[in-house]
A and B are shown apart, each in its own frame.
Chain A
Amino acid sequence: MRRVPLAERFGISGRGLVALLPYLWLMLFFVVPFVIVLKISFADVDLAIPPYTPLVQWTEKNVLAIKLNFNNYEFLFTDKLYINAFLNSIKVAFLSTLLCLIVGYPMAYGIARSKPTTRNFLLLLVILPFWTSLLLRVYAWIGLLKANGVINNVLISVGLIHEPLTMLYTPFAMYVGIVYSYLPFLILPLYANLEKMDWQLLEAAEDLGCKPWQAFYKITLPLSRNGILAGSMLVFIPAVGEFVIPALLGGPNALMIGRILWDEFFSNRAWPVASAVAILLLLLLVPFMMWYQSIQARESAGTR
Chain B
Amino acid sequence: MNQRRSVFIISCLAFGYAFLYIPILSMIVFSFNASKLVTVWDSANSPTLKWYHSLLGNEEILDAAWISLKVAVINASGSVILGTLAGFALARFTQFRGRFTLNAMATAPLVMPEVITGLSLLLLFVAMEQLIGWPAGRGITTMTMSHMTFSMAYVTVVVQSRLATFDTALEEAAMDLGARPLKVFFVITLPIIFPAILSGWLLAFTLSWDDLVISSFTSGPGSSTLPMVVFSKVRLGVSPEINVLATLTIGTVTLIILGVSLWMARKHKLPKPAA
Binding site for B on A (CB under 8 A): 13-16, 18-19, 21-23, 25-34, 36-37, 40, 50, 103-104, 106-107, 109-111, 113, 120, 122, 124-129, 131-137, 139-144, 146, 148-150, 153, 180, 183, 212, 233-234, 237-238, 240-244, 247-248, 258, 261-262, 265-266, 271, 274-275, 278, 281-282, 285, 288-289, 292-293, 296, 300
Contact assessment for B9 and A19 in the assembled complex, using a CB-CB cutoff below 8 Å: no
In the bound complex, residues from chain A placing their C-beta under 8 Å from that of B121 are 29, 33
Q: In chain B between 48 and 66, which residues have their CB closer than 8 angstroms to a CB of chain A?
A: none
In the assembly, what is the distance between CA of A237 and CA of B103, in Å?
18
Given A29-B124, A137-B23, A143-B38, answer yes or no on A15-B119 (Cβ-Cβ < 8 Å): no
B178 near A: Cβ within 8 Å? Answer: no
Are B26 and A106 neighbours in the complex by a CB distance under 8 Å? Answer: no
List the A side residues contacting B116 at CB < 8 Å: 37, 241, 261, 278, 281-282
Is B246 part of the binding interface, using a Cβ–Cβ cutoff of 8 Å?
yes
Contact A289 B108 (CB under 8 A): yes
Q: Which residues of B contact A275 (CB under 8 A)?
A: 119, 123
A18–B89 CB distance below 8 A: yes
A149→B124 CA distance, assembly (Å): 43
Interface residues of B in 10-58 (CB under 8 A from A): 10, 12-13, 15-17, 19-24, 26-27, 30, 37-40
Contacts of A285 in B (CB 8 A): 111-113
| Chain B neighbourhood of A32, CB < 8 A | 124
Smallest CB-CB separation from B97: which chain A residue? A16
Q: Contact: B105 with A27, CB < 8 Å?
A: yes
- The 10 nearest A-B residue pairs measured at CB: A241-B113, A33-B120, A106-B12, A140-B23, A22-B86, A19-B89, A26-B105, A33-B124, A237-B111, A136-B246
Complex Cα gap A204–B227 (Å): 52
Is there an interface contact between B119 and A132, defined as CB atoms closer than 8 Å?
Answer: no
Contact A133 B249 (CB under 8 A): yes
Please indicate the chain B residues that have their CB under 8 angstroms from the CB of A131 in the complex. Answer: 202, 206, 253, 257
Q: Take A131-B206, A243-B115 as given contacts and tell me if A296 and B89 are in contact as well, using a CB distance cutoff of 8 Å.
A: no
A4: shortest Cβ distance to chain B, in Å? 16
Docked-complex contact B210 and A150, CB < 8 angstroms: no
Cα distance, A107 to B23, chains bound together (Å):
18
Most chain B C-beta atoms within 10 Å of own C-beta, residue among A132, A243, A261: A132
User: Known: A133-B210, A139-B246. Is A242-B12 also a contact (CB below 8 A)?
Assistant: no
Q: Once the chains bind, are B20 and A234 in contact (CB under 8 Å)?
A: no
| A211 to B230 Cα, complex, angstroms | 52
In the assembled complex, the Cα of A33 lies from the Cα of B245 at a distance in Å of 35
Further pairs besides A19-B85, A241-B116: 18, Cβ < 8 Å: A15-B96, A16-B97, A22-B89, A36-B127, A103-B16, A107-B16, A120-B265, A127-B257, A131-B253, A132-B246, A133-B246, A139-B238, A140-B23, A148-B40, A149-B39, A261-B115, A275-B119, A289-B112
Let me know if B98 and A23 touch, CB within 8 A. Answer: yes
Interface string of B72-107 (1 = CB under 8 A from A): 000000000011011011000100111101111111
Residues of A within 8 A of B111 (CB): 233-234, 237-238, 285, 288-289, 292
Could you say which residues of chain A place their CB within 8 Å of the CB of B39?
143-144, 146, 148-150, 153
Residues on B with C-beta less than 8 A from A143 are 23, 26-27, 30, 38-39, 238, 243
Q: Is B231 positioned at the interface, with any CB of A under 8 Å from its CB? A: yes
A22 touches B102 (CB 8 A): yes
Of B1, B22, B234, the residue contacting A139 (CB under 8 A) is B234
Cβ contacts under 8 Å, B261 to chain A:
120, 124
What is the CB-to-nearest-CB distance from B213 to chain A, in angstroms, rounded to a whole number?
Answer: 6
Interface centre among A25, A135, A237, A240 (most CB of B within 10 A): A135
> Beyond A32-B124, A289-B108, A293-B104, is A25–B93 a contact (Cβ under 8 Å)?
no
Complex formed: what's the CA distance from A146 to B26 in Å? Answer: 13
Q: Are A14 and B181 in contact (CB under 8 A)?
A: yes
Taken together as a complex, chains A and B put the C-alpha atoms of A183 and B246 apart, in Å, by 20
Q: Specify which chain A residues have a CB less than 8 angstroms from the CB of B98 in the assembled complex.
A: 19, 23
Cα A27 to Cα B97 in complex, Å, equals 14
Given contacts A109-B9, A135-B210, A233-B111, contact A19 B24 (CB under 8 A): no
Known: A19-B98, A300-B164. A37 touches B115 (CB 8 A): no
CB contact under 8 A between A141 and B108, given known A15-B89, A212-B2: no
Query: B10: nearest residue on chain A (CB-CB)?
Result: A110
